[in-house]
Amino acid sequence: VVMRENRLAKFGWLLNSRKRVLSALEPHFRGVPPERAEEIFLVCENAHNWKAMIDLVRDENGSREHELGHIACPALILWGAREIAYPLETFGQRFVHDIPGAQLRVLDDCGHYPQEEHPALVVAALGEFFRSLENQAENR
């Protein structure tokens, strides 16, 4: 499930297997429960979803990065400390720099999928973020 552009990329969704999806997830998501791996496989199996993922990887080098500065709503960027696909120093820090007023929260013991690995940490971070927005609104 390494999504690299090649002449068969448009058929990539046909080439996936449950085993390949699980092996691709493993470095990013510790202890993937089998039922969750199955759900993720079904997402990858869908041709439209697969095309969207291929498009995302093709844009990895930032043809849309100029759009970050146009984000006008409060933004909380949650980043797993063990993220290996998109390093914090390269991507996370850039998002915080380019999105006006963005806040960054690095979650320990999380990789690419903090919402899957430690949902309670994500819920707590979101709760704190929303409370801070409420406090800001009350103080205006």
Distance from C-alpha of 113 to C-alpha of 31, rounded to nearest angstrom = 11
Q: What is the mean pLDDT of the chain?
A: 81
Q: Quote the distance between the C-alpha of residue 25 and its chain's center.
A: 12
CATH 3.40.50.1820 region(s) of the chain? 65-138
**Given pLDDT bands bounded at 50, 70 and 90, which one contains residue 65?**
confident
Note the pLDDT of residue 5: 42
pLDDT reading at 37 higher than 80: no
> In this structure, which amino acid lies at residue 40?
I
Distance from C-alpha of 17 to C-alpha of 102, rounded to nearest angstrom = 38
pTM for the full model?
A: 0.72
Right CATH number for 65-138 from 3.40.720.10, 3.55.30.10, 1.20.58.100, 3.40.50.1820? 3.40.50.1820
Distances (CA, A) of 139 to 89, 109, 127, 128, 132: 33, 35, 18, 17, 11
